[in-house]
Structure 1
């Protein structure tokens, strides 16, 4: 095992370093965009944890997670406290539980790391990227998942962006973690006068960083020359009145008034639950929309759906998106947000505090393999809010889509970094799939994102306005869409199988 650096002999200093290393990863994401801190964070984690006994790696992983989620995901406090009508003390407690719970994922990954590598320093170094990726994947899957703050997402504006259509966000994360491990190995070898070996490690680690910018110029999908005009409305409706029946008419009048000059646009987009009543009660509103739409125009809006569901065999609610006019289709959200759109252990938790009784928190997830929306002959695959954070889910459902579309209401998270992180995640999905994405939100950021993950038009947060622009259809698939994350996960498993410490019985 590698000896501990004298700086890290003090356990409090070591603990603080791990927390800081986790927090540095938050700075790689929007709005900070310091992508280069990703490998630096991994290097700091290894400097502290590589020499630790296996039994202490669980706490090392947990402290790293506390730093990451305590700095990058505490925006949940705003929805719990300000919009969940929950006392401050309880809101703080729930936020602490949320962060501490998420930190268990890197804690378990680090514990598994110690079990696999034992005390071998080189095995720990080689296995670390694989362990980190599997921890990320588990966090994005277990109990509906929290696929947020993946290190690779930072490279929408970083040098590894060109690899995203090939290996996806998990592949980028794997190489960022490997680069941090290579930094550690290079320094370790130089200190031992093994300069040739250090040079080889450094060169190998640099290859993807140098090759990715060239890959970014590759056109993996074919982009049509014929544009589709877009008008997306950002109503900036205060969250406090969003579900208040007294303000229903005001909200609808706002969106109709914003749309008046744009009824002949090819695609008009209203955000998530822009119509805050179910479709079976919104007949007059829908009729007004269809009467005003141009012959070649489609309006897509978020609107709750209520009715009998063959899926459940009962009447149910869905968080849905519907196309009207020269288009058709309805999509029911599949990936629901715990406590925001459904309440786990509902019979026990309902009524305890305001946060467990948020408006519209009794949705049912939609069925799998739903079709796309049709807009003037184009196939538009929609995703609602949180769904855009699931990389493999989005890639799998977008194979036959010409365009991607996502709607959201990030008003739940105020002026925190959460909505800006959400925007960057959407940009990574457009980059992975080589498709234009239209993003409509209540209070920002409404944007048009091109097939390279770059915004061509946007409305700033907390402004009422209409975004106009053009999008272009795409055909074909990126390599990532064909394979999803399985090659990266398989590589991680192969490393574990062949590099782990084997214990041979004496008999």
Structure 2
């Protein structure tokens, strides 16, 4: 395997392919066993090279991962951002190359501070710990891009039962750990190391299977009937002033023609005008919904003064009928909802002047909304992909709700990836998730992360089903990632000390 472990274009090329394999482990492909191959290839490719070479090797792995897994960025920029094909391709490559730097950092840190000789259990633990640290850092740095975590591959895999214990990052840790342990079983010549690796793998697998049937939460009330309206409004028409009345009438008629239900959900910015400009329409809908003894939750932009007294625009959720509360989106999409360095970039190309791209971030510490007497944790689009952020509201709620407009993804794999992350949030929290989108995938997801009801993509459709309010906290909602953080810190500190001790002995 010298062609893989040494520096050179062959090793870089194999790392590129290994990174691309990660995309195949996630939705809509779900070929989760490939995760082990990808991690093993990366681990071996970093085993005999210098820190600078490792950074380059990691970058190629990251480029393969993000080029294959986030190609839908091109659709957003070209089809809906009015950028020419060459410019859209350039910006997409720049985006992918920038994200690949996180894996370059992983490679450099691993070789510079943590790598030890041999395929050992301690090496496996340190490798997994650093992997999770970099995933978490990527989800935080510059507002974060928490996409394509390897832990999502286990949504329906044998280790899914671990998600309520430590969330998707625990799954990422276990997958990276198991990959190197499999290599230890194969390559290590010491029977003690092989036995130890085999025991750890057996414990991980048995826990994963056993906990899949564990019920961490319990019903807190009777089932609630749900109607989710999927309007399938084309993105290039959504903000057209001449189309606004037609859109409002569409959602009204689809709602009135549907059978009455406890909860009625419209997607993100289903009302495509400021809330203050739609007061008459919303009041009319409020009277109708109240007569039906229902609660309606919808996305609508609004403007109000922030804590400093400045008038700001927000991507928001509002409630009608038997419901109370309002929610302002906190996790904004760069360039889609706000433009970094907007004083410089505004007006350069049409992509930096998209409609509704000047939203402000909502305040932290917002509370769940209330509908039919139950607390509902609201997430708008991108917010549901942040594990720790989602866990805070989920712990205070009986039901989870995410509304989105995935039209930006076109017909790419993006919507399926987005849906998979919403499913993981339901599994982590042990709660039902309602997902209402403009053009799919709208779905009801049970506390095990399994889709209960869905409707086809790219069609006007009414989703009908029921959800059950849940009470109780999974270990992940109770402690979030603090136990895993402590484990990772201790593992990496131990690896540094072992490495120094090894050098002193020489």
| TM-score of the superposed pair, with normalisation by structure 2 | 0.95
Within the candidate set 422, 430, 434, 1:434 is matched to: 430
Three-state SS of the structure 2 residue aligned to 1:323 is strand
Distance 2:494 2:431 in 1: 38
**How far is 1:291 from its partner?**
2.1
**How far is 1:438 from its partner?**
0.2
Residue by residue over 1:30-70, the C-alpha shift from the partner in whole angstroms, topping out at 9 and shown as x without a partner, is: 10011111112111112222122233111111111001101
Q: Are the counterparts in 2 of residues 50 and 124 from structure 1 also a CA contact under 8 Å?
A: no
Q: Are the counterparts in 2 of residues 50 and 125 from structure 1 also a CA contact under 8 Å?
A: no
Q: Residue 272 in 1 paired to residue 268 in 2?
A: yes
Q: Are the counterparts in 1 of residues 4 and 44 from structure 2 also a CA contact under 8 Å?
A: no
Q: Are the counterparts in 2 of residues 220 and 476 from structure 1 also a CA contact under 8 Å?
A: yes
Q: Are the counterparts in 2 of residues 186 and 201 from structure 1 also a CA contact under 8 Å?
A: yes
1:135 alignment partner in structure 2: 134
In the TM superposition, 1:15-414 aligns within 5 A as: 15-117=12-114, 120-121=117-118, 122=120, 124-189=123-188, 192=189, 194-195=190-191, 197-224=193-220, 226-262=222-258, 264-293=260-289, 294-309=291-306, 311-414=307-410
**How far is 1:249 from its partner?**
1.1
**How far is 1:7 from its partner?**
5.5
Residue by residue over 1:423-459, the C-alpha shift from the partner in whole angstroms, topping out at 9 and shown as x without a partner, is: 0000000000000010000000000001111110001
Residue by residue over 1:140-177, the C-alpha shift from the partner in whole angstroms, topping out at 9 and shown as x without a partner, is: 00110001111111111111111100111000000000
**How far is 1:461 from its partner?**
1.0
**How far is 1:199 from its partner?**
3.7
Between 299-308 and 329-338, the greater mean CA deviation after superposition: 299-308
Residue by residue over 1:74-101, the C-alpha shift from the partner in whole angstroms, topping out at 9 and shown as x without a partner, is: 2111111110001111111110110011
**How far is 1:107 from its partner?**
0.9
Three-state SS of the structure 2 residue aligned to 1:304 is strand
Q: Are the counterparts in 2 of residues 435 and 474 from structure 1 also a CA contact under 8 Å?
A: yes
Q: Residue 463 in 1 paired to residue 459 in 2?
A: yes
Q: Are the counterparts in 2 of residues 222 and 475 from structure 1 also a CA contact under 8 Å?
A: yes
Distance 1:502 1:197 in 2: 21
Which consecutive unaligned segments of at least 5 residues does structure 1 have? none
Q: Are the counterparts in 2 of residues 235 and 465 from structure 1 also a CA contact under 8 Å?
A: yes
Tell me the matched-pair count: 499
Distance 2:229 2:487 in 1: 44
Within the candidate set 431, 442, 446, 2:442 is matched to: 446
1:502 alignment partner in structure 2: 500
Residue by residue over 1:256-286, the C-alpha shift from the partner in whole angstroms, topping out at 9 and shown as x without a partner, is: 1110133731100000000000100001210
**How far is 1:376 from its partner?**
1.2
Q: Are the counterparts in 1 of residues 47 and 115 from structure 2 also a CA contact under 8 Å?
A: no
Three-state SS of the structure 2 residue aligned to 1:407 is strand
Q: 1:225 to 1:291 in 2, by over 3 A?
A: closer
Distance 1:9 1:365 in 2: 47
Q: Are the counterparts in 2 of residues 54 and 118 from structure 1 also a CA contact under 8 Å?
A: no
**How far is 1:384 from its partner?**
0.2
Which consecutive unaligned segments of at least 5 residues does structure 2 have? none
| TM-score of the superposed pair, with normalisation by structure 1 | 0.95
Q: 1:402 to 1:119 in 2, by over 3 A?
A: closer
Distance 1:328 1:423 in 2: 27
Residue by residue over 1:107-130, the C-alpha shift from the partner in whole angstroms, topping out at 9 and shown as x without a partner, is: 112211112135634565442111
**How far is 1:224 from its partner?**
3.6
Three-state SS of the structure 2 residue aligned to 1:76 is helix
Q: 1:232 to 1:361 in 2, by over 3 A?
A: same
The Cα RMSD (Å) is 1.7
Distance 1:489 1:17 in 2: 31
Q: Are the counterparts in 1 of residues 5 and 46 from structure 2 also a CA contact under 8 Å?
A: no
